[in-house]
Amino acid sequence: MGYVWDFFAVARNADILLAGLGQTLLLSVCGIAVGVAIGGVLAAMRLSGRRTLSWPALAFTEFYRNTPPLVHFFWFFYGLPMAFGLTLPPFAAALAALGVQSAAFFAEVFRGGILSVETGQWEAGRALGMGRARLMRRIILPQAARRMAAPFVERSFELVKTTTLAAALAFHETIYSAMVIVTQTYRPLEVYTVVAGLFFIVLFSASQVAEWLEARGRRAGAR
């Protein structure tokens, strides 16, 4: 006997699912912001040429890039109260976990983009008497930014999908909201199919915007 699909069960609980999607987007935006801020500092430390700065930054990035993100969620939500008596609400714990993990990847994106700029560009800037800060701002970063764009967007999309792990902390994002609906409707196939569709719509739309901005940047750079 074939399975009878019933998406009306999901439609009747659309408010719960959309509220969860809103929390997913909020967590994603905040996680990217934290990751960019910390990742920028880590990249600067890696590029400083000082071992006292570059080695701790390297240790941080390699550790968080090579350990499971779910473990980070558990550390911040369950580990901090047990080890230090510091209790974070689910949103803060999920944000901290996403922030440190995304920072490790963003740091490598930023560092790789800067290092990809040809040595001649650095030498030309110095020949014009530019200091390091002005050289970075006027010559290096504009070129590096175009090369960072694609990997940065890719890592940002991965972060959005990683927010689903926050369901393990009982944070009411999209997956946790879907789990609530499943317990009420007993329609897991329909619910999770709709969830997949929502993520596809959000990320595909964002990818189209990113490609348009990237193409616009290339045209502006060619002038």
For residue 79, name the pLDDT band (cuts at 50, 70, 90).
very high
pLDDT tens, position by position, 99-148: 999 999 999 999 998 888 777 666 666 666 676 667 777 777 778 788 88
Averaged pLDDT, 146-170 = 93
In whole angstroms, give the CA distance from residue 31 to residue 105: 12
Contacts of 131 (CB under 8 A, 6+ apart): none
Place of tokens 């800060």: 133
pLDDT at 8: 92
CB 166 within 8 A of CB 27: yes
Provide the residue ranges of all domains of the chain, joining segments of one domain with +. Answer: 8-221
Specify the fold of 8-221.
MetI-like fold (1.10.3720)
Contact 67, 61 (CB under 8 A): no
The reported pLDDT for the residue numbered 82 is 94
pLDDT at 145: 82
- Are the C-beta atoms of residues 94 and 169 closer than 8 Å to each other? yes
State which of 45-54, 109-118, 168-177 shows the largest mean pLDDT.
168-177
Q: Is the pTM of this model over 0.95?
A: no
